[in-house]
Amino acid sequence: DTEVTQTPKHLVMGMTNKKSLKCEQHMGHRAMYWYKQKAKKPPELMFVYSYEKLSINESVPSRFSPECPNSSLLNLHLHALQPEDSALYLCASSQWGTGDTIYFGEGSWLTVV
């Protein structure tokens, strides 16, 4: 199984809503990532978890709150988002520190209205 599964595929939320994006992998990878991608731009790193601990936070606003409940799951909790946060949110995973291949999910398309 070389899949990274993201749910939901599409999400529309209001600026006062609270929602979550979910990511799951069963490859035994100990590094998991959240990326944000705007149209026609490359992905931008948001967070990196290694061994379920947050290791990189790229100065992301606190309205985005990551969580890694176990080695297979990664969540991104969303609260009080702005319309400019509308984007494709990509989850990825890899082995940690080995320079191994990185696997991406299909992404969650988020629209904030």
Partner 1 sequence: KNEVEQSPQNLTAQEGEFITINCSYSVGISALHWLQQHPGGGIVSLFMLSSGKKKHGRLIATINIQEKHSSLHITASHPRDSAVYICAARVYFGNEKLTFGTGTRLTIIP
Residues for the chain: how many in total? 113
Q: Which of 31, 27, 24 is nearest to 5 (CA)?
A: 24
Stretch that binds partner 1, among 17-25, 36-44, 68-76, 78-86 (CB under 8 A): 36-44
Stretch that binds partner 1, among 18-26, 43-51, 66-74, 78-86 (CB under 8 A): 43-51
Q: Does 42 bind partner 1 (CB under 8 A)?
A: yes
Contacting partner 1 within 63-102 (CB under 8 A):
88, 90, 92, 94, 96-102
Contacts of 21 (CB under 8 A, 6+ apart): 6, 7, 8, 11, 75, 76, 78, 89, 91, 108, 110
Q: Does 111 bind partner 1 (CB under 8 A)?
A: no
Instruction: Write phi, then psi, for 69 (nearest 5 degrees).
Output: -65, -30
Binding positions for partner 1, rule: CB under 8 A:
31, 33, 37, 40-43, 45, 48, 50, 55-56, 88, 90, 92, 94, 96-107, 109
